[in-house]
Amino acid sequence: MRDIRVATVQFQPARGDKAYNLGRVRHFVSEAARSSVEIIAFPEMCLTGYWHVRKLSRAAFEALAEPVDGPCTQELLRLAREHGMTVGAGLLERTPEGQVYNAYVVAMPDGTQGLHRKLHVFEHPSICAGDRYTVFDTPHGCRVGVLICYDNNIVENARATALLGAELLLAPHQTGGCNSLSPRGMKPIDPAIWARRHTDPAACEAELCGPKGRGWLMRWLPSRAHDNGMFLLFSNGIGPDDDEIRTGNAMVLDPYGDVIAETRAFGDDMVVADLDASLLPTSSGRRWLRARRPDLYGSLTRPTGQEQDTRRVRFGE
């Protein structure tokens, strides 16, 4: 990997309004181009909207999805070619067989694309789960992996992605303000505090950056970068998302798990950071990857009988 300038974005997508959401993507790509950014990450399902989809009929859900070579992907590829930039954004993908995936398209300036299908899904009863890791080379001299939202919570996913050679992990999310089943997990953001964000910004920042948002992320997100020796781009939604409020906090982390750039804005925003490739070879995570004892890890691949579909967990079944 060489030194590279990256950006990550938080924004509030409009439910089902691809034209508006693509407009926000175009805006931030243009802004990033003025700063000589080479790779930019947008949030999970930012082109379709996110949490409202769980209430859609199956027909409406499938209609919101589109083929991976459809209009949204073509526009991402056009932007990538125009600006010489790799652009990642989330959408619903519909296959020729009619399956629908929570997918993340990474459009590259040479006309190629990466595609990750979320592994741990719960967004709609009819959604399908991906079945493979996604790691690929980019024209920028950087090997990139993708894990979508809940994928990042499972430590094995980050390790497997690093073992496939990922130097930079794109981690698109729609998170914060979720009503976690855990008594010490995330809880909903107070809508009254959000409504007063401009007149009482200190209270809003405390809400978004506390244990319901950034504080929860800081319990585990840095370890995905640190333990595996990867840079990490965290992108997220911000503001009301159906009956939840996303907490933003888009950030860039280095291979030591340190936050090198972030935003605490209460609306759409972008952060830019320069990645120092010299940090990778000597990072703790890279050393630990070499110290592994795979002969001891057979138990990791054996079912315990306690595995549970994430869709059942999120919908309370």
Q: What is the pLDDT of residues 30-76, one digit of tens each?
A: 999 999 999 999 999 999 999 999 999 999 999 999 999 999 999 99
The answer to whether residue 145 sits within a structural domain is yes
How many distinct structural domains can be found in the chain? Answer: 1
By CB atoms closer than 10 A (0-12, 13-18, 19+), residue 224 is: buried
The answer to whether residue 300 sits within a structural domain is no
Predicted TM-score of the model (pTM): 0.96
Residues in a beta bridge with 88: 41, 106
Q: What is the pLDDT of residues 278-314, one digit of tens each?
A: 999 999 999 999 999 999 999 999 998 988 887 665 5
The answer to whether residue 299 sits within a structural domain is no
Percent of the chain with pLDDT over 90: 93
Question: Which DSSP state fits 111?
Answer: S
The answer to whether residue 257 sits within a structural domain is yes
Mean model confidence pLDDT for the chain: 96
For residue 102, pLDDT beyond 50: yes
Domain coverage including residue 38: 4-293+308-314
Question: Is the alpha carbon torsion for 310, 163, 235, 283 positive or negative?
Answer: positive
Residues 249 and 263 sit within 8 Å (Cβ to Cβ)? yes
The answer to whether residue 288 sits within a structural domain is yes
Give the CATH number, domain containing residue 245.
3.60.110.10
The answer to whether residue 12 sits within a structural domain is yes
Q: Rounded to whole angstroms, how far apart are CA atoms 72 and 259?
A: 31
Cα angle 129, 61, 161 (rounded to 5 degrees) comes to: 25
The answer to whether residue 302 sits within a structural domain is no
The answer to whether residue 285 sits within a structural domain is yes
Amino acid letter for position 8:
T
Question: Which DSSP state fits 267?
Answer: S
205 sits in which H/E element: helix 201-209
Question: Which DSSP state fits 92?
Answer: E
